[in-house]
Structures are given as C-alpha cells and as structure tokens.
C-alpha cells in the first residue's frame, strides 16, 4: 500500500482497540514513514563510503499480564498479523512472570515535534556535499600526515506514534554528524592521531548550516594538524598521580560511561546483565548516594540543538529536563514508564515519580529501552579554562578519546586520549603522547573540585552508543564544561 | 535457493542493468529473528522481526555509489533503489586506484546449515527451558537470573552484472546467555550456549554448569589480586576475545600496509607468536558458521594467518587489495570463521587448572578496547565466572580485574592450550543478523599477563 501516516493510522487504531479487547493492558505502534541515513567518508581523499540507507516499517508493542511482546515488519500490508505476533509474544513472555510491568497512570498526549533545521542536508546535492568534504580533505593534507579521514552522516526520520491511551504524536528528527581526523606514526612506530567532531554550544539548528559553520567544524582543520605535529614530537606521559583537567571533547565520554550508562534504570534493575552490564547503583540509593563532590550537577537536559533532543520519547511522553545528580547527590535516574513501579518496590519507597522520558528505540524493528538523552553537566563557578589552569600546580589537560574500557557495573574505568598538555605552576606547557588515566567511578567524581563556566561548556554528539538485545545503536548528546579532578592515576606503569 | 519471486526480480534487475551497460552488485539479506529477554528471573520481553534488506552498489570506472533499502522488495522499489545507486555513482568522486568489481567466482547454493525447527522455535519453548533452569538452580540469599536467547534464520544472496553466477546461503543460529547475579555481593555467573540446530543443549546441561560454579562463590569472599604480571588461565570466551584482538590488530591488510598493525615491518615467514599458536580462517571448521563466499563473490576456503607461531598471511578485502596491488583473500565480510588450533594440553578445564597451579582463571574479558593497535595493546576487565586458582583448585571468586597487555605478548607467552576446541558465538545483532562464531581451545594458559587494576567489587 502507499504508506501515508493517515492510512497507517486507519489500520493501527482498530488494532490497538482489539489489543485491549483481547486482554492486553497497553499497546503502542511506531510507524517510520521515513528513516534515511546518508554516510559519506573520504579516506586519504578516496570516497570509501557513498551510500544512503532507507528504511520503512512498523513496530508494535503489547503489554499482557505484566510482560512485553514486540513484533516488527516492513510489510505494511501485514500490520494486523504484526499485532497478532506481538500479542502472542507477550503471552509467551507472561508464562514466566516476574515483577509485573505496568505503565502507571495514563498520560495521553497529542502533538508534533520538528527538529530545528534551516537547510535539509538531503536537499543539498550530493556533488555539493562531496565538494565540501573534499575541500576539507585538501586542508588536512600536510607534511608528515600519513592518513586523513573526513566523514559526515545525515539522518532524517519521520516517526508516527499511537498508543492505547489515545496518545498520537509525530516527529521529524534531523541529525548531522561529522568527523575529521589526521594520523601519523611517531618515532616509536606508534600511530598517533588527532580529530575533531562537529560540535556546538547547544544552540543553533541541526541541518546543513551547522556543518557549514566554520566555528563548529571546518575551522578546526588547521588546529588538529598543528596538534598532531606537537604529539609526534612529544614524549610519552610519565606515569603518576596528578590533577586531571578534562576538556569537553573527553569529558563527554567520561560522563557517558561513568554517569549516563550507570544511571539507566533497566541496567540498575538487571535487565541488561547478559550484554551491556549492570550498574553499581541500586534503586534504594536514589536520593541518598553521594555520587560526586558538591560541584557535580548533572541533568538529563533538553538542549535545543542535540541528537539527544527529540520532543517525545518512544512512549509518546513529552521530553523534560531534570536533575540526575544535584550538588553531588544522586536524585534521579534515566527511566521510561514501564520500570518505575519495580524500582520503587525494590527501594521500599518512592524513588522515581514519573518517566524520565528516556524510552528510545533505534529503528522501527527495535523495542524502546532506557537510553541516554542529553546527559549534561551544568557549568560551574570556577571561571574559564585559563582560570582553572592558573589554579593548578601539577596536572595535565586531556582531550578526545582514543580508547575506553569500563567495568561491567560502571564502577571503574580506563581511558586513553589523543593528547595531553602538561600544567605546572599554573601554566600550560609541553604536549604529551600516549596519555591514559584510570579510576574508580565514585572516588573519581568525588574528586571533582573545579567546574568551568559557560565559556567552557560544549555540546558533543554521540552517534553510536550501543546497548540492548537485540543490539541498538543510538544518537545522543552531552553538554559538558571543563572539569578538574584531584590526584588521578595517569599514564601506564610497567 | 532463494524464494523464486525475489530471485526473479533480482536476476531480471541484474540482466537489465547489464543490458544498459551498468555494473551493479546486488546483495540481499533476509532474516527472521526471535528473542526472549530475561530479567529478574522472568521473561520481560519477547520479540520477533522479519526483515529484508537490499544493498545495491554501482561502479563506473573509479566511481562507486550505493543504496540500501529495508522494506518488502517489490519491482518498483528495486528499480528506484538501483536508480539511487546509479545517481550516487554519477556524483561520486573518482578514487585514485582502480576498485575491484564484485564477481561471483563460482555458484554457491548452500542451505546445509538451515534447521526449520530452530527457525520456528517458539518463545514458549524457550521460556520453558529457562524456567526449568531457574526452578532448579537455587543459590543462597537474594539473587536473580537475567539473559537472552536469540534464534533465527538468515538468507544471503549475492549476484553481480559480471556474470550469471549466484551465491546463496541460508542458515539458522541461536545463542543463549543466562546470568545469575547475587544481589548483595553482586557476583555474576554466566552460562552461554551457541547452536546451529534445535535441541543443541538441554536445561540439564545448563543447570549442571551453574551448580559446578556455585560452591566457590558461596563459600568464599571476593579476592582482590595484586597489580603486576601474573599467570592466567583464560577460558574459552576470553580466548575468543584475545583471538579477535590478535587478528584485528595484526592481520588486517589495510592496517598492515598503512603500518598501523603490530605486524607492520614483518613479512610472511617471520616468527610472531609462541610455537603453540596456529590461527586460520576456516569456513569448513565444524564449530564455526562457515561463510562459503564473501561480498565480492570470492569463494572462501581455509586461509592460514599464523602457523606454529610464524606469520603466514594477511587479510585483504577488495578495497585494500585494489589500493595496494594485492590479491583479495575473501574477506569482504564482517563474519569470518577464525580458528585458534587446539594445542597439546589434556582436555577438560580440570586439566587446565591442574597445569596452571597458582593462577587467575579469567574466562571472560569485558569491554575490551585498543589504546594502541600498532603495538597490539589492549585493555579489558574480568567479569563472569572469574576465579582464583590455588594448587590447581578454585578457592575464591575474583574481584573485577583489569588486563592491559599486548597481543604479541599474550600469544608469545602461551604455556599450553587445551587439545579440545569449542565454539564461541561472537555474533552481534547491531545491524543485520549475521551469525558468527570462532573455534578456540577451551582453555589457554599464559604467563606474565599484565594486571593493571583491581576493583573491590565483582
Ligand atoms: Zn554508550
């Protein structure tokens, strides 16, 4: 059939009513009228990825006697059969019952979200996009540079959502991601690299205009070449304990791995144990646990221009902005409607009051799970990066992940970064290579002693967060200021 | 063979493209996937997806463009998709090398790995087996089971305008992971099974494995080992991880040519690992899922990477082969069939433990990353089922222990390998269903493994 949302709605609405009539307690359907991704990648100037992927289909979820069933199909003539399958799956799941899932009080909503875009990247001719990327690749050429990578990805989605409570919302999501990287071997034969991702201050719009904004991307080409030259000439970071100043280009991953994932309610409740892992946080710790120093204020934010902003989550709940950690105390977690009752029962008191609007699915053929949205750290009182450097006796500044490895309950971590700058007696000095640092999550966040002001705050996109079974890749954002941590184990001891 | 309706659509599209002088590759992927997901000793979710994906790639001299579609394939959609791929190719920038166009070397029609019973294994049957395990395994204190059991079928069909050959493959696969977690001490035990057909394992097998692990977890507190170099007995899942790292860091042709692999500067015939180490990519090995062709149409056969510790061959996909003037080796794939050959150690975990004496037993490595591929440097931490070995016996569970070492060092310091190999499922479901397994010795004993951090929790 020709798949207009109106036609699909005409098929879906009576099916949702049928679910309730057959004993289901809740049901919903997500129709992806469009899910388009374009991936372009130049590797050493050669166009190695020049592809577009289009997906269209519907995913149906049914809650039956406290258990979920899900089914998906791209065959839009088979929607009633897809509802049958989802219901049958829910019935099978309900054979081995646990804590019964429920959606809590009904909160019907109606509305539309349209991501802020000036120029739709899919309307820009491919030849123009490639000319732009080729221009950047030319800028990255230089003496001593062995490999160059320039890539961009554009995503456009039109999603329609209906549920048995009467919620009907639609979304037009648009995302733009881009990376530039230069690589070269150092005198020890180890490949060093320096890169930059398309970033912003969280304002602005998400279309082609963002990528074209010099400040957000293209303007950094020269800088990463200069940084790489400095890394190639640098000595390895000597191991030792010292203060660690983390720029947003690294801080986003620190937050992502040791706060974001640890605060996903499905992980906390043990639903991700066999794949992604659990969490060191238990439900009863919500409202009590000192996660970090009182300088730490972390929120699930609604940032205007971020892939973690989507209007309504995949349960149709309007996205909201709330604290996860307030002055160092854990006050909330990332949740959807379905696990709130279980979290409160396990804690023995009400620790989560309403959905954290974090139910997100990566495609029509995946079911929503608890995901990060924009996990942001509030800017702090400690001034600019220069102010923080001036206040540091012995430390390093680090930027941009090379490697990351985190304990399965997010209780400890090991990160490698592209670059480090030495800080001695309040002055930024020489560059180090082969930088790594490691720590234990709570001890580390409790050593946070300086948080930079608004001038240091940057929005970093994450295009590839992995989680879930079946596996799902998700897009999200992190708004992060410059942060300083005291007395961190850095470098590798033999 | 592929369903006649779709096969006819695709071969007709190929013939039409050829008539118009268009060089096109068609790659069809169909899956039926089902999964149950357990949490808190219950089935919290059951899923089912039926998906068809079509990738079309068009090449015109040095220009390449492609288009992919996830939808029910019809004649109109196929025509549109080919049109988009052609448009993308027209606008493409030419490469500075001559790309190799896909050609199906010889016809393949392989459904030997397909089991209709596994394809349609019901969520009730899966739930029943898991319920039997949960009912039988009763540790002390508060605990719960979680996990997942994914089963399904995959069809892969590849043709190009280069000739009339067709490559087709249909198979089934499954993977069960059950995790038992103690709520207070937070230790986690895991039992994992991989399958090609229904009935590959029973609840009884799984119960027995859990019960063999439980006493040491219930009888001793967690052990915090020391940072430094130690003797480690790796279990099969960890060996599979180590094998993957060794291959990725050392044997990818493109990285080798760019001097970004730890084998850079070496050549075939050079000694790389301990004598006991032989690594092949072997689609005919019975443990693996065995992909008979790759997505450039090359027929895949046994390929040796390392023989008795000596470097023999590197993996070249068509891109690296074209760029660096090498021959493609049949590795335009995400799912290879790697085999670490069995050694001379007595089979059975008990024998490995006895040989190890005082050591750490690490059967899984979690969240591995490569801080420096040019040295083969990796880092990852222990997770499920990790134990302290004293005098060849398990005496305590290990707290989360970080291993940061290099592939050349680990495979250079091999003391012994079990003479019995087992399959380890390495499939991911991030994109399309793509059954992958490796065959590895059930244990590998290694000296001087670098432990760099220890947590005070599991
Ligand atoms: Zn993530």
Co-location of A208 and A260 in the same domain: no
Q: Is the pTM of this model over 0.90?
A: yes
Residue that is last in its domain, among A189, A210, A233: A233
The rounded distance, in Å, linking the Cα atoms of A401 and A262 is 19
Co-location of A217 and A268 in the same domain: no
Nearest chain A residue to B130 by CA: give it.
Answer: A96
Weakest mean pLDDT among A71-75, A191-195, A410-414, B423-427? A410-414
Asked if B179 lies within 8 A of A406 by C-beta distance, the reply is no
B353 φ, ψ to 5°?
Answer: -65, -45
Cis-peptide, bond into residue A160, ω within 30° of zero: no
| Number of structural domains chain A divides into | 2
B11 φ, ψ to 5°?
Answer: -65, -35
| pLDDT (tens digit per residue) in B195-238 | 999 999 999 999 999 999 999 999 999 999 999 999 999 999 99
B37: contact with A, CB 8 A cutoff: yes
**Contact residues, B window 325-364, toward A, CB-based 8 Å cutoff:** none
B52: contact with A, CB 8 A cutoff: yes
Co-location of A252 and A326 in the same domain: yes
Q: Report the SS3 class of residue B123.
A: helix
- H-helix or E-strand spanning residue A325: strand A322-326
Measured between CB atoms, which of B35, B93, B379 is closest to A405?
B379
Asked if B188 lies within 8 A of A93 by C-beta distance, the reply is no
**How large is the average pLDDT for residues B438-449?**
98
Q: What does the DSSP 8-state code read for residue A354?
A: S
What CATH number should be reported for the domain holding residue A227? 3.30.2290.10
Name the maximum alpha-carbon separation found in chain A.
72
pLDDT category at B185 given cuts 50, 70, 90 is: confident
B224 φ, ψ to 5°?
Answer: -105, 105
Going from the C-alpha of B186 to that of each of A14, A28, B367, B457, the distances in angstroms are 46, 35, 18, 8
Residue that is last in its domain, among A202, A233, A264: A233
B70: contact with A, CB 8 A cutoff: yes
- Percent of chain A with pLDDT strictly greater than 90: 90
Length of chain A in terms of residues written? 494
Measured between CB atoms, which of B64, B93, B453 is closest to A412?
B453
State the burial class of residue B207 (Cβ atoms within 10 Å of its Cβ: 0-12, 13-18, 19+): middle
- Residue A1 confidence (pLDDT): 47
Provide the angle, in degrees to the nearest 10, between the axes of the packed helices B203-219 and B123-136: 40
Nearest chain B residue to A56 by CA: give it.
Answer: B71
Nearest chain A residue to B149 by CA: give it.
Answer: A469
Identify any residues that bridge with B404 across adjacent strands, giving them in sequence order: B379
The rounded distance, in Å, linking the Cα atoms of A457 and A5 is 40
The rounded distance, in Å, linking the Cα atoms of B167 and A407 is 42
Residues spanned by the domain of A159: 5-233
Given a contact cutoff of 8 angstroms between Cβ atoms, the answer to whether B401 and B274 are in contact is: no
| pLDDT (tens digit per residue) in B388-414 | 999 999 999 999 999 999 999 999 999
Distance A463 CA to ligand 1 centre (A): 10
Given a contact cutoff of 8 angstroms between Cβ atoms, the answer to whether B233 and B362 are in contact is: yes
Chain B residues in contact with A45 (beta carbon < 8 A): 96
CA-based nearest residue to A52, from B157, B65, B180: B65
Chain B residues in contact with A411 (beta carbon < 8 A): 400, 455, 457
Co-location of A448 and A481 in the same domain: yes
- Residue B430 confidence (pLDDT): 80
Q: Report the SS3 class of residue A330.
A: strand
Co-location of A342 and A461 in the same domain: yes
Q: Report the SS3 class of residue B49.
A: strand
Q: How far apart are the first and last CA of chain B?
A: 49
Given a contact cutoff of 8 angstroms between Cβ atoms, the answer to whether A322 and A374 are in contact is: no
- Sequence-distant (6+) residues with CB within 8 A of B309 are B271, B272, B273, B274, B275, B276, B277, B278
Chain A residues in contact with B45 (beta carbon < 8 A): 67-70, 93, 367
Co-location of A33 and A169 in the same domain: yes
Residue B429 has pLDDT above 80, yes or no: no
Measured between CB atoms, which of A46, A69, A74 is closest to B51?
A74
Distance A256 CA to ligand 1 centre (A): 6
More confident residue, A2 or A189: A189
Asked if A408 lies within 8 A of B70 by C-beta distance, the reply is no
The rounded distance, in Å, linking the Cα atoms of B430 and A153 is 18
- Residue A408 confidence (pLDDT): 82
| pLDDT (tens digit per residue) in B246-288 | 999 999 999 999 999 999 999 999 999 999 999 999 999 999 9
Q: Which of B25, B34, B47, B180 to mutate to test the interface with A (most CBs of A within 10 A)?
A: B47
CA-based nearest residue to A93, from A116, A71, A73: A71
Residue-averaged pLDDT of chain A: 95
Place of tokens 């448009």: B87
Co-location of A141 and A46 in the same domain: yes
CA-based nearest residue to B15, from B233, B164, B169, B182: B164
Distance A301 CA to ligand 1 centre (A): 17
Distance A286 CA to ligand 1 centre (A): 21
A283 φ, ψ to 5°?
Answer: -55, -35
**Contact residues, A window 112-141, toward B, CB-based 8 Å cutoff:** 125-127, 130, 134
| pLDDT (tens digit per residue) in A293-305 | 999 999 999 998 8
Identify any residues that bridge with B157 across adjacent strands, giving them in sequence order: B28, B168
Distance B310 CA to ligand 1 centre (A): 38
Going from the C-alpha of A273 to that of each of A326, B107, B182, B190, the distances in angstroms are 27, 43, 12, 10
Provide the residues around ligand 1 (an ion) whose CB is within 5 A.
Answer: A 465
- Residue A494 confidence (pLDDT): 62
DSSP per residue, B318-373: HHHHHHHT----S--SS---EEE---SBPSSHHHHHHHH-SEEEE--EEEEEEEEG
Nearest chain A residue to B380 by CA: give it.
Answer: A405
DSSP per residue, B249-312: HH-BHHHHHTT-STTTT--TT-B-S-TT--EEE-TT-SSS----B-TT-PBP--EEEEETTEE-
Co-location of A335 and A368 in the same domain: yes
B367: contact with A, CB 8 A cutoff: yes
Nearest chain B residue to A134 by CA: give it.
Answer: B93
Chain B residues in contact with A50 (beta carbon < 8 A): 64-66, 88-89, 92
B120: contact with A, CB 8 A cutoff: no
**Contact residues, A window 349-378, toward B, CB-based 8 Å cutoff:** 365, 367
Residue A73 has pLDDT above 50, yes or no: yes
Residue that is last in its domain, among A210, A233, A256: A233
A189: contact with B, CB 8 A cutoff: yes
Place of tokens 């039956």: A64
Co-location of A199 and A339 in the same domain: no
- Residue A2 confidence (pLDDT): 61
Chain A residues in contact with B380 (beta carbon < 8 A): 405
The rounded distance, in Å, linking the Cα atoms of B35 and B151 is 6
Asked if A48 lies within 8 A of B48 by C-beta distance, the reply is no
Cis-peptide, bond into residue A470, ω within 30° of zero: yes
B319: contact with A, CB 8 A cutoff: yes
Given a contact cutoff of 8 angstroms between Cβ atoms, the answer to whether A294 and A327 are in contact is: yes
Spell B377-386 as b/e; 16+ CB within 10 A means b: bbbbbbbbbb
B16 φ, ψ to 5°?
Answer: -65, -45
Distance A272 CA to ligand 1 centre (A): 13
Nearest chain A residue to B125 by CA: give it.
Answer: A92
Q: Report the SS3 class of residue B204.
A: helix
Identify any residues that bridge with B249 across adjacent strands, giving them in sequence order: none
The rounded distance, in Å, linking the Cα atoms of B435 and B154 is 8
**Contact residues, A window 18-57, toward B, CB-based 8 Å cutoff:** 42, 45-48, 50-57
| pLDDT (tens digit per residue) in A429-438 | 999 999 999 9
CA-based nearest residue to B280, from B302, B251, B298: B302
Co-location of A175 and A258 in the same domain: no
Co-location of A160 and A299 in the same domain: no
Asked if B45 lies within 8 A of A98 by C-beta distance, the reply is no
Q: Report the SS3 class of residue A393.
A: coil
The rounded distance, in Å, linking the Cα atoms of A336 and B93 is 45
Co-location of A387 and A414 in the same domain: yes
Residue A291 has pLDDT above 80, yes or no: yes
Predicted ipTM of the assembly: 0.93
The rounded distance, in Å, linking the Cα atoms of A219 and B236 is 48
Q: Copy the structure tokens of residue B380.
A: 């990852």
| pLDDT (tens digit per residue) in A202-237 | 888 999 999 999 999 999 999 999 999 999 999 999
Measured between CB atoms, which of B48, B92, B457 is closest to A85?
B48
- Residue A470 confidence (pLDDT): 87
Q: How far apart are the first and last CA of chain A?
A: 65
What structural domains and CATH numbers belong to chain B? 4-219 (3.30.2290.10), 228-454 (no CATH)
């Amino acid at each position: 059939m020709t798949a207009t949302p109106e036609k699909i709605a005409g098929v879906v609405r009576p099916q949702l009513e049928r679910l309730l009539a057959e004993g289901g307690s809740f049901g919903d359907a997500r129709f992806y009228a469009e899910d388009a991704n374009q991936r372009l990648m130049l590797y050493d100037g050669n166009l190695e990825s020049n592809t577009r992927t289009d997906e269209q289909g519907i995913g149906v979820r049914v809650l039956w006697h406290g258990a979920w069933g899900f089914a998906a199909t791209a065959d839009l003539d088979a929607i009633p059969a897809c509802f049958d399958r989802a219901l049958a799956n829910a019935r099978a799941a309900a054979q081995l019952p646990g804590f019964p899932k429920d959606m809590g009080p009904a909160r019907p909503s109606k509305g539309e979200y349209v991501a802020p875009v000036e120029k739709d990247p899919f309307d820009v001719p491919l030849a123009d996009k490639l000319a732009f990327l080729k221009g950047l690749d030319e800028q990255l050429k230089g003496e001593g540079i062995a490999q160059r990578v320039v890539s961009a990805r554009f995503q456009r989605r039109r999603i329609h959502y209906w549920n048995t409570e009467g919620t009907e919302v639609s979304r037009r999501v648009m995302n733009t991601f881009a990376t530039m990287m230069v690589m070269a071997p150092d005198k020890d034969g180890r490949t060093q690299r320096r890169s930059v991702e398309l970033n912003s201050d969280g304002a602005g719009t998400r279309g082609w205009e963002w990528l074209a904004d010099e400040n957000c991307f293209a303007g950094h080409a020269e800088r990463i070449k200069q940084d790489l030259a400095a890394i190639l000439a640098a000595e390895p970071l000597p191991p030792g304990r010292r203060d660690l100043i983390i720029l947003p280009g690294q801080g986003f991953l620190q937050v992502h791995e040791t706060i974001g994932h640890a605060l996903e309610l499905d992980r906390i409740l043990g639903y991700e144990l066999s794949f992604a892992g659990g969490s060191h946080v238990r439900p009863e710790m919500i409202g009590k646990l000192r996660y970090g120093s009182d300088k730490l204020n972390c929120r699930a934010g609604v940032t205007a221009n971020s892939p973690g902003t989507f209007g309504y989550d995949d349960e149709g709940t309007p996205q909201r902005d709330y604290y996860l950690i307030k002055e160092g105390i854990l006050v909330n977690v990332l949740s959807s409607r379905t696990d709130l009752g279980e979290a409160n029962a396990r804690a023995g008191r009400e620790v989560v009051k309403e959905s954290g609007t974090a139910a997100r699915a990566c495609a029509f053929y995946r079911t929503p799970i608890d995901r990060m949205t924009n996990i942001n750290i509030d800017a702090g009182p400690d001034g600019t990066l220069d102010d923080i450097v001036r206040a540091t006796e012995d430390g390093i500044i680090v930027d941009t992940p090379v490697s990351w490895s985190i304990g399965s309950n997010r209780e400890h971590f090991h990160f490698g970064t592209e670059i480090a700058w030495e800080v001695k007696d309040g002055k930024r000095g020489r560059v180090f290579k082969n930088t790594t640092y490691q720590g234990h999550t709570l001890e580390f966040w409790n050593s946070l002693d300086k948080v930079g002001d608004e001038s240091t705050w940057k929005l970093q996109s994450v295009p590839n967060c992995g989680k879930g079974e079946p596996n799902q890749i998700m897009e999200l954002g992190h708004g992060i200021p410059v942060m300083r941590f005291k007395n961190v184990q850095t470098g590798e001891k033999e | 063979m592929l369903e006649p309706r779709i096969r006819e659509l695709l071969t007709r599209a190929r013939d039409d493209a050829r008539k118009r002088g268009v060089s096109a590759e068609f790659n069809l992927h169909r899956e039926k996937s089902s999964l149950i997901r357990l949490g808190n000793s219950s089935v919290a979710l059951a899923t089912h997806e039926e998906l068809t994906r079509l990738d079309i790639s068009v090449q015109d001299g040095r220009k390449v463009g492609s288009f992919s579609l996830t939808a029910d394939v019809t004649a109109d959609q196929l025509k549109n998709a080919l049109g988009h791929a052609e448009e993308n190719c027209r606008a493409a920038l030419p490469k500075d090398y001559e790309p190799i166009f896909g050609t199906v070397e010889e016809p393949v029609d392989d459904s030997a790995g397909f089991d209709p019973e596994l394809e349609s294994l019901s969520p009730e049957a899966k739930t029943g087996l898991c319920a039997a395990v949960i009912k039988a395994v009763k540790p002390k204190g508060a605990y719960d089971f979680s996990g997942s059991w994914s089963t399904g079928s995959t069809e892969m069909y590849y043709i190009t305008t280069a000739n009339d050959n067709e490559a087709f493959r249909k198979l089934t696969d499954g993977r069960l992971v059950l995790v038992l977690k103690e709520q207070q001490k937070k230790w986690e035990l895991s039992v994992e099974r991989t399958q090609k057909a229904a009935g590959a394992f029973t609840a009884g097998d799984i119960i027995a494995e859990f019960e063999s692990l439980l006493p040491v977890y219930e009888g001793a507190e967690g052990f915090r080992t020391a940072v430094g170099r130690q003797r480690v007995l790796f279990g099969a899942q960890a060996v599979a991880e180590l094998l993957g790292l060794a291959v990725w860091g050392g044997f990818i042709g493109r990285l080798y040519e760019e001097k970004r692999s730890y084998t850079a500067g070496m050549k075939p015939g050079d000694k790389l690992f301990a004598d006991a180490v032989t690594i092949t990519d072997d689609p005919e090995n019975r443990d693996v899922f065995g992909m008979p062709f790759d997505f450039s149409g090359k027929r895949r056969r046994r390929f040796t990477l390392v023989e008795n510790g000596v470097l023999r061959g590197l993996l070249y996909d068509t891109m690296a082969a074209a760029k660096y003037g090498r021959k493609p080796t049949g590795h335009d794939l995400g799912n290879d069939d790697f085999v670490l050959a069995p050694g001379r150690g007595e089979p059975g975990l008990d024998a490995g433990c006895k040989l190890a004496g005082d050591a750490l037993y690490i059967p899984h490595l979690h969240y591995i990353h490569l801080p420096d591929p040019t040295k083969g440097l990796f880092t990852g931490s222990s997770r499920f089922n990790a134990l302290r070995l004293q005098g060849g016996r398990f005496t305590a569970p290990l707290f989360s222990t970080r291993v940061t070492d290099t592939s050349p060092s680990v495979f250079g310091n091999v003391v012994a390998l079990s003479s019995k190999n087992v399959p380890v499922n390495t499939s991911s479901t991030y994109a399309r269903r793509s059954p992958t397994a490796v065959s590895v010795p059930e244990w590998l004993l290694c000296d001087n493994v670098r432990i760099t951090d220890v947590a005070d929790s599991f």
